[in-house]
Amino acid sequence: MDAVQIGISSVALIVILIYFGLYIPVALGFVSFLGVLIMKGNITLPINLLSLAVADTISHSVFATIPLFSLMGLLVSKSGLGKDVYEVANFFFYKVRGGLGIATVAANAIFAAITGSSIASASVFTKVSVPEMRRFNYTAMFSVGVVAGSSVLGMLIPPSAMLIIYSIVAEQSVGDMFIAGIVPGIILTIAYCILIVLMSYVAPKFIGGTGVEIPEEEWESFTFLGVTKKIFPILVLIMVVLGGIYSGIVTAVEAGAAGSIVALIIALIKRSIDWRGLWEVLMDTGHITASILFLIISASMYSRMLGVAGLPTLFGEWLVGQEMTVALLMTMVVVMFVLLGTVIDTASMILIVVPLFLPVLDELDLSMVWFGIIAVISAEIGLLTPPLGISVFVIKSTLDDKSITLFEIFAGAFPFAVTMLLVVILLIAFPELSTYLVDNNPTTEFLEYLGILTPEQ
């Protein structure tokens, strides 16, 4: 076999190994090592490849965002801010048809802006919102479906771990990717809310939730002062992290560190964390960071192996030679992500698929930032689709109600997965929805006008 055949075979072998249950980073690393060994016939080269993957990949300062934002997200979850966000959203939306579902979407969107993790959102709101929706006669299928669907907002609305990973793979600015995620995140949130309202009229039996009023005494604490007390810590955290990044005052790494400190202060003020809890948070941060970095190292080996085989260049030349339209190319990308999403987690898809398309993106002069948003949302659809559906399995494992089946969660999440696909089509048709804020950052322009920042900053 020549190098190209080995490269193509390696992609198929990785998918097969993953289907048989091999840990994804192990599959990537093993196949990459074996591929270089077969192509070059010298064991020294794959060993050097591993050394370079470790040294060049995780030594970059941008990787510090991974433990910092993971730590911030875990501290936020520990402090109970997810419950506060949901209660405030519920207060504003419960009288609307499907109001608790809209409240869950709104709360998830806000929670995503301070955690950046779909898994954290899924676990928190399974505990917080599902029991409330069930209490007010919402169907089990809708209750778990809306949590599963809205949990994916954590992967898109900054600060997002997936946007960080894409930034590393595509060598893009983390800050630019965060800014690019704002408008698509808002669009997806609004689309979910519209979907819920439409379903409440078209398929009321699917949603339920009629004929129940929340007692007056439950809202006694929701005075202006009560709502401010619940929402103020969240606003402070969002302003410190996202405000700092968008204004250009701090880098993404510095914003992660500042956010972690603020989240810890909030948890201490709320007395929701002790020394044991802090130790657990630090241990969990270490586990999350290690697993993500192991995956990135293995994916870096895989990318380098494909480079040795010449597959990305050949694939890019083939795509260019087909004279594909941008619409057809992006259709291929979305279909590939959706199919891989049935067996592979989001981060792995980003790390495996994106390097294949980078040459053709350069050739066609397409925006890497725009492509990143499309890639992340397309990969997120896999969080809601069987058989993998990570968010679905997180919800199932977190549920106190064991009578709710996996089928019900997948079925409840299906309308939200379809809505995500429609949003992807919209973003492909109108790239400026993803790139406008990056090209025209109003916060930076305002600070330059005031003289706080210079254009060079």
pLDDT band at 66 (very low <50, low <70, confident <90, very high): confident
Which of helix, strand or coil describes residue 138?
strand
For residue 194, the number of C-alpha atoms closer than 13 Å in the C-beta half-sphere is 10
Percent of the chain's residues with pLDDT above 70: 87
Please report the pLDDT score of residue 310 as a whole number.
73
pLDDT digits (tens, 9 = 90+) for 418-447: 999 999 999 999 999 999 888 876 655 544
Give the closest residue to 129 by CA, choosing from 117, 141, 112, 146. Answer: 146
Give the closest residue to 112 by CA, choosing from 122, 102, 103. Answer: 122
Please report the pLDDT score of residue 433 as a whole number.
92
* Contacts (Cβ under 8 Å, ≥6 apart) of 440: none
Q: Per mean pLDDT, which range of 52-66, 91-105, 131-145, 364-378 is the poorest? A: 52-66
Please report the pLDDT score of residue 453 as a whole number.
46
pLDDT at 456 over 60: no
Provide the residue ranges of all domains of the chain, joining segments of one domain with +.
Answer: 3-450
For 19, the token pair is 């289907």
For 213, the token pair is 């009023």
Positive or negative: CA dihedral 226, 228, 231, 234: negative
The residue-averaged pLDDT of 189-202 equals 92
pLDDT digits (tens, 9 = 90+) for 274-295: 888 899 989 988 887 887 778 7
* Contacts (Cβ under 8 Å, ≥6 apart) of 168: 57, 60, 62, 63, 296
pLDDT at 259 over 90: no
Of these ranges, 5-9, 221-225, 358-362, the one predicted with the greatest mean pLDDT is: 358-362
Please report the pLDDT score of residue 421 as a whole number.
93
Please report the pLDDT score of residue 35 as a whole number.
82
